[in-house]
Amino acid sequence: MSKLSPSLKGLINAPFARPGPTPAPRNIEAVYTKIADEARERKYGEKPWLALSAAATFTLNSPSSLGPLLTLASSRWPSSSSSPSSSALLAPAEFIREIGLKCISFNGIPRTINTLNSFRSHLSSAHPDLSPHLSSTPTRQTTPSNISAVHARGRQLWESIYTPLDTKLEAKLAEAHPDLPVHILGSHYGPLLSDPPSGKNGLDSKVGRSLTSVVAIACLRAQTGVGPQVLSHVFGLRKAVEQGAHLHEFAAAAAGQSGGEGSVKGEKERKSEEEAEGIERLASDEGCEWILRSVDAISEAMAAAAAAQDGNMNEGGFASPMRKRESKL
């Protein structure tokens, strides 16, 4: 293979093109903590704030910010202990990994690859006892025996989010390119955005219908420039509540947790009801405004960190153009 010239290598890695990730802002832990505290005060639940924070962090390309996020999440995750032990870290770590995977549909593949790889390296170095317990079995393979079910899940999710305009939207996408809706439904809504059947590891890492809408809102808000899609997924979150998807999700999660009779079972059901009520509050005008403002706070912190790194202010977190230098000729 021929070697690249020094000038080409230099241009690929030119600072103005931001070839590397966004560094973790010095105040990122405080930003995450404020969001988590507000979620608790407003009774939105613990998972929504983590879902939006992780999604925004993946979008803004800051792998090193996921370590502080995980530490905070492990101290607040439902049923976790107060210390960041391996057992307390496992469920939120798997949840963050699932969030990152779903970000592919909104941000593209490269940022998820780089950020998930970096996050995995962080887990191996900072929490070596955790690594052997991380999921290593794929759950989204399509086979001749399950392809119809995967497509059905994707169609169901699509209709759930976009009803009553789902058919009209699909036709409009087909006008733009005949394979556009084919790819969106067949490669994203089916295999990726809809959750696969529950695994046997006992972990509550599934994102679920309502929180998938939260992930979409957070990614698209942080990405900037796609207001119509943000609006669509805000409505998608509301439709999840109107359709009762959140009730089914949290009831199923409570039923799937191991063991429990009498008072223990009652406690699980109570927590499930509280989580469902939190999603209902989150889908309100006030709740959706909170999602957007929380993402904006993360974006602002990331933009400041990126600006400090390369001297170019970038409001959206994506690569900024090279500034023109004044000619002295």
Of 12-21, 46-55, 213-222, 261-270, minimum mean pLDDT range: 261-270
Average confidence (pLDDT) over 230-247: 96
* Cα 287–chain centre separation: 17
pLDDT of residue 201: 45
* Cα→Cα distances 197→138, 153, 214, Å: 12, 10, 21
Residue 190 · residue 154 · CB < 8 Å? yes
> End-to-end CA distance of the chain, in Å?
41
pLDDT of residue 255: 62
Does this model's pTM top 0.85?
A: yes
One-letter identity of residue 120: R
pLDDT of residue 77: 86
- HSE of 135, CA atoms in CB hemisphere, 13 A: 22
97 vs 317 pLDDT, higher one: 97
Nearest to 213 by CA among 142, 149, 288, 281: 288
pLDDT of residue 316: 43
User: What tens digit of pLDDT does each residue of 83-125 get?
Assistant: 555 678 999 999 999 999 999 999 999 999 999 999 999 999 9
